[in-house]
Structure 1
Amino acid sequence: MADITTDEALVAYAFEGEEITAEHGGPVRIVIPHLYFWKSAKWLRGIELIPQDAPGFWERNGYHMYADPFKEQRFWND
């Protein structure tokens, strides 16, 4: 929760006054600039709040659960 409630994180539906197209991840996307971009979801259709972190598509395929680029957390064992 802390990562998506920072002032830098956004739920974006428009860019420069235009709706975000599907080609660019629209109609809605999440941008969390302090994490690797696979944590910034495209084509958002809903948000589910769960009591603990759970691996998604990328994490089930070997990517890091948190993904801090400053700690070079790219893959599961980093």
Structure 2
Amino acid sequence: MELEDIFQVAKTSSDNIANNFLTHGWKLLYVTSTASTDDRYLNYGAYQNSEPCFVLGATKEISEKYPRSKGFERLYG
């Protein structure tokens, strides 16, 4: 997929959501990680968190069939 073909982008830390987008024709553009540190309770040690970050892209045709908003809907059941 060329950069000019990308119509919509989605970013998620959930591999289930990323796989759902991939199943519906989206392409994986980039995988990285995000990290944060919380030092509010420094006398107990800083809390550090790191999680994956998946960046996905879709052409106009694919995003019309399966829009970004649909990929982030919660399913209960």
**TM-score, structure 1 normalization:** 0.23
Q: Relative contact order: is structure 1 or structure 2 higher (C-alpha 8 Å, sep ≥ 6)?
A: 2
| More helix as a share of residues | 2
> Comparing both structures, which one devotes a greater share of its residues to strand?
2
| TM-score, L = length of structure 2 | 0.23
